[in-house]
Amino acid sequence: MSGRLELAVEGRKSVEGWAAGAQVLALLSTIHELGWTRYLAEPRELAELAAYSGLPPTRVSDLVAVLAEYGVVVDDNGRVRLSSQYEAFAADDAWIGLGEILDRSAVMSKLIDTAVREPGPLPLSEDDALVIARASGGRATAETRRLFEQVFLPQLPELADLVRRERWLDVGCGVAGSSLTLATLFPEMRSVAVELVPTVAAEALRRAEAQGVADRVEIRCLDIRELKETDEFGGAFWAQPFFPESTRAETLAVIRRAIKPGGLLFLQETEPEPQPSGGLAYAVRRLVTRGWDVPFGRTAEQLAAEAETAGFDLVRLAVTDVGRYVVAQRPGR
Ligand SMILES: C[S@@+](CC[C@H](N)C(=O)[O-])C[C@H]1O[C@@H](n2cnc3c(N)ncnc32)[C@H](O)[C@@H]1O
């Protein structure tokens, strides 16, 4: 058994390790905000970076040393540039980019602070909801299309088949990352994408227009429980990890009515258990997610039971490289 001194040193070491991570995160946020991540996508002389930043050369070299220590930048024949991982992560064609993850981290820190101070549900402003939606759905880029085409869709062939033939309903579309990726892959696709939060729906619409698919992906700012359609859609995707307990049964009832008899419903399992390397982050996400009254880590089997209680039949549990999916069906045809 260690003495109190050794115990305190052990505790201090842990916290100092986390503090170093937090300080690098702060540094990364600032350089990203100031455009360094774009500038350093190309190799630069230290003197060029000094001129770019307006900082003295010694400061620049100290900053670069920290970034190199953490693998953000590398030496390229005496010049400095982003490492290939960070170049891809910070680039415009990233599925979910560095800026999105940094913004979400800031929102999470704020929510954790509130979780300790306030007993009630964790408040999410419209701007915070947009940050969360941007970091969850990601962007419809050439890289995202490649992921869908090569990995995700071959493992869920029912989905591609359906969006080519029938109208598609995206429930809780966020910034419509998946609807826009599908629409840009399949020119035949017609869909209605429903999002509750006006700021998030406005961003989804902006992205649909930018991709030139706003005539085929109709973004509706609406609580899905207000959707009026009956027997209309060939299938639906439900972003279930974002729906509070109090809204789930009604949401499933509305989807069941809105899709045609025989139509399919897809649900994704998220975080059924912590990854061996990510236990801490898992516990933090559970804290915040439950603070929103959203069930955390519901398994595919539990989601299938939830859909069956709402009157769907289970078709199958599909295993994909991006997690397990429940494929359920509205009975009848
Ligand atoms: C973050 S998105 C999921 C990502 C999305 N699948 C994508 O591809 O971009 C989930 C969204 O569901 C929305 N949502 C939650 N409850 C809702 C409801 N009752 N009606 C409509 N949207 C809702 C949330 O506002 C949130 O933006």
Ligand 1 binding pocket, CB closer than 6 Å? 129, 132-133, 136-137, 172-178, 194-197, 200, 223-225, 239, 242-243, 247
CA of 235 to the centre of ligand 1 (A): 17
> For domain 4-91, is the CATH number 1.10.10.10?
yes
Lowest mean pLDDT among 34-48, 90-104, 163-177, 272-286: 272-286
**Mean pLDDT of all residues in 195-201:** 98
Query: Binning pLDDT at 50, 70 and 90, where does residue 246 land?
Result: very high
Q: Helix/strand/coil (H, E, C) string of the chain?
A: CCCHHHHHHHHHHHHHHHHHHHHHHHHHHHHHHCCHHHHCCCCECHHHHHHHHCCCHHHHHHHHHHHHHCCCEEEECCEEEECHHHHHHHCCCCCCCHHHHHHHHHHHHHHHHHHHHCCCCCCCCHHHHHHHHHHHHCCCCHHHHHHHHHHHHHHCHHHHHHHHHCCEEEECCCCCHHHHHHHHHCCCCCEEEEECCHHHHHHHHHHHHHCCCCCCEEEEECCHHHCCCCCCEEEEEECHHHCCHHHHHHHHHHHHHHEEEEEEEEEECCCCCCCCCCHHHHHHHHHHHHHCCCCCCCCHHHHHHHHHHCCCEEEEEEEECCEEEEEEECCCC
> How far apart are alpha carbons 256 and 254 in whole angstroms?
5
- In this prediction the pTM is 0.94
pLDDT confidence of 1, banded at 50, 70, 90?
A: low
Please state, rounded to an integer, the average pLDDT across all residues of the chain. 96
Question: Is the pLDDT assigned to residue 276 strictly greater than 90?
Answer: no
pLDDT of residue 94: 94
The pLDDT confidence band at residue 271, using thresholds 50, 70 and 90, is confident
Which two structure tokens, joined as six digits, stand for 71? Answer: 């693998």
- The CATH code that applies to domain 105-329 is 3.40.50.150
Of all protein residues, whose CA lies closest to atom 24 belonging to ligand 1?
172
Ligand 1 mutation pick, 134, 196, 221, max ligand atoms within 8 A of CB: 196
275 pLDDT band, cuts 50/70/90, is confident
Per-residue pLDDT band at 278 (split at 50, 70, 90): confident
At residue 260, the pLDDT reads 98
How do residues 136-163 score in pLDDT, each as one tens digit? 988 999 999 999 999 889 999 999 999 9
| pLDDT at res. 279 | 67
Paired with 191 in beta bridges are 168, 217
Domain with CATH 1.10.10.10 in the chain: 4-91
> Is residue 22's pLDDT more than 90?
yes
How far is ligand 1, taken at its centre, from the CA of residue 61, in Å? Answer: 44
Q: What is the pLDDT of residue 328?
A: 98
Q: Where in the chain is the domain with CATH 3.40.50.150?
A: 105-329
Average pLDDT over residues 226-255: 97
